[in-house]
């Protein structure tokens, strides 16, 4: 058994998401690309590639990772490409999606050998966080003026539209797709493919998959386009835990338990969005605040209920710890980086990566 902390990726749980993605691909005709900005742990790419069509990226490094480790179809997108990286991006991509008309015009000739697309911003989204809202006022994410886009239609063959965020409501997805059709319908019928981005939580419990498939298929047939989805969180939801050990307990008006991990370093999104971690079953008469070991005062996973008193050496499993964790982990305070462990379908576990002091040193200068 590896030392904690470590991320434990359970393939049997990952498989549930993969099977739902495969179902959507089969019944809707849509293709599914893994969003590497959410999850890029390439040790399970060989497993996931049997159920998905490729990857989509947000940077040169992600494009190269998708090409080299996942294979299949590789989409390149970035808010802005630099002159120094554009050739390497093109070399590793099947499609390149530009965020703005100015970037399209600047690099269209260089990218003439691969499929080119443009990001559209419908100016509506499902996000409840201004920080993550692509349709926020003065957003830099995509073009919204139909007249301006019409002027460059000869340079592109598709669109990417990403305006869903943790959206588990099919009716809201349906409504927003209708808004997209109303705003951009004249453009959609003139392209060959449309990516609807990620943030659609269609692998969640009780999501109406058949309605979702029918809606995607109808959209595809109406405009004569190949639909793409870019599931990030939907690909890996509930597949992974962060395994931690209690190092100390104390009482300061509440029962506190300090563990060998840190939200600042290992689950940064909890801190950014002021969210609480998940612990199951979260029942019992003993309530503890689970705290990280960094010096940040607000390094707190949350407050949870347990069946028994917590003691030093006890294990705590932080649930749903795959998305936006391993891609954001950092060396704050020099806190030990969690290992990455895979639980195979037969129940065996193997350590695929451990991080050492040398990794810490090499990340600095």
User: Of residues 127 and 341, which shows the higher confidence score?
Assistant: 341
Look at phi and psi of residue 110 and say left if phi exceeds 0, alpha if psi is from -120 to 50, else beta. alpha
Q: Which residue has better confidence, 9 or 130?
A: 9
Q: Confidence band (pLDDT; 50, 70, 90) for 7?
A: very high
Each residue's pLDDT tens digit, 135-144: 899 999 999 9
Q: For residue range 164-210, list pLDDT tens digits in order.
A: 998 999 999 999 999 999 999 999 999 999 999 999 999 999 999 99
pLDDT digits (tens, 9 = 90+) for 322-359: 999 999 999 999 999 999 999 999 999 999 999 999 99
Task: Write the pLDDT tens digit of every residue in 221-265.
Answer: 999 999 999 999 999 999 999 999 999 999 999 999 999 999 999
Query: How far apart (Å, rounded) are the C-alpha atoms in residues 47 and 52?
Result: 10
Strands 193-195 and 226-229: parallel
- In Å, the largest CA–CA distance within the chain is 67
Q: 278 falls in which pLDDT band (50, 70, 90)?
A: very high
Length of the chain: 365
| Whole-number pLDDT of residue 129 | 85
Q: What is the pLDDT of residue 128?
A: 83
The pLDDT score that the predictor gives to residue 183 is 96
pTM for the full predicted model:
0.96
∠ at Cα 317 (316, 320), nearest 5°?
Answer: 150
CB atoms within 10 A of CB 96: 28
Cα 45 to Cα 42, 222, 228: the distances in Å are 5, 33, 19
Q: What is the pLDDT of residue 231?
A: 98
Residue 152 has pLDDT above 90, yes or no: yes
Per the CB < 8 A criterion, the answer to whether 245 and 277 are in contact is: no
pLDDT in tens, 94-121: 999 999 999 999 999 999 999 999 999 9
Q: What is the pLDDT of residues 17-42, one digit of tens each?
A: 999 999 999 999 999 999 999 999 99
The average confidence (pLDDT) of the chain is: 97
Q: What is the pLDDT, as a whole number, of residue 1?
A: 73
> Quick one: pLDDT at residue 364?
96
Q: What's phi and psi for 316, nearest 5 deg?
A: -125, 135
Specify the residue for token string 């998940």: 278
Residue 2's pLDDT band, with cuts at 50, 70 and 90, is confident
């Amino acid at each position: 058994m590896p030392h904690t902390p470590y991320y434990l990726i359970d393939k049997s749980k990952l498989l549930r998401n993969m099977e739902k993605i495969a179902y959507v691909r089969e019944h809707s005709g849509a293709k599914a690309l893994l969003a590497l900005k959410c999850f890029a742990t390439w040790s399970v790419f060989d497993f996931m590639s049997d159920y998905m069509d490729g990857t989509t990226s947000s940077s040169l490094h992600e494009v190269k990772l998708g090409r080299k480790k996942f294979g299949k179809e590789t989409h390149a997108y970035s808010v802005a490409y630099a002159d120094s990286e554009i050739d390497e991006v093109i070399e590793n991509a099947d499609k390149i999606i530009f965020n703005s008309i100015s970037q399209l015009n600047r690099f269209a000739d260089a990218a003439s050998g691969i499929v080119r697309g443009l990001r559209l911003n419908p100016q509506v989204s499902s996000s409840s966080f201004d920080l993550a809202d692509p349709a926020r006022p003065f957003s830099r994410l995509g073009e919204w003026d139909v007249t301006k886009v019409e002027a460059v239609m000869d340079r592109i063959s598709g669109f990417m539209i990403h305006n869903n965020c943790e959206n588990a409501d099919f009716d809201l997805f349906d409504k927003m797709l209708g808004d997209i059709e109303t705003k951009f319908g004249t453009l959609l019928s003139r392209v060959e493919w449309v990516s609807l981005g990620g943030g659609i939580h269609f692998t969640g419990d009780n999501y109406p998959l058949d309605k979702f498939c029918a809606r995607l298929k109808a959209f595809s047939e109406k405009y004569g386009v190949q639909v793409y989805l870019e599931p990030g969180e939907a690909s890996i939801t509930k597949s992974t835990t962060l395994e931690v050990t209690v190092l100390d307990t104390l009482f300061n008006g509440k029962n506190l338990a300090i563990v060998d991990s840190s939200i600042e370093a290992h689950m940064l999104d909890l801190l950014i969005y002021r969210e609480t971690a998940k612990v199951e079953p979260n029942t019992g008469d003993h309530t503890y605040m689970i705290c990280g070991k960094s010096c940040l005062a607000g390094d707190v996973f949350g407050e949870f209920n347990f069946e028994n008193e917590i003691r030093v050496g006890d294990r705590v499993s932080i649930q749903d710890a795959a998305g936006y964790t391993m891609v954001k982990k950092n060396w704050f305070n020099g806190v030990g980086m969690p290992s990455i462990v895979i639980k195979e379908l037969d129940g065996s576990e193997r350590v695929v990566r451990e991080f050492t002091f040398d990794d810490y040193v090499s990340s600095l200068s």
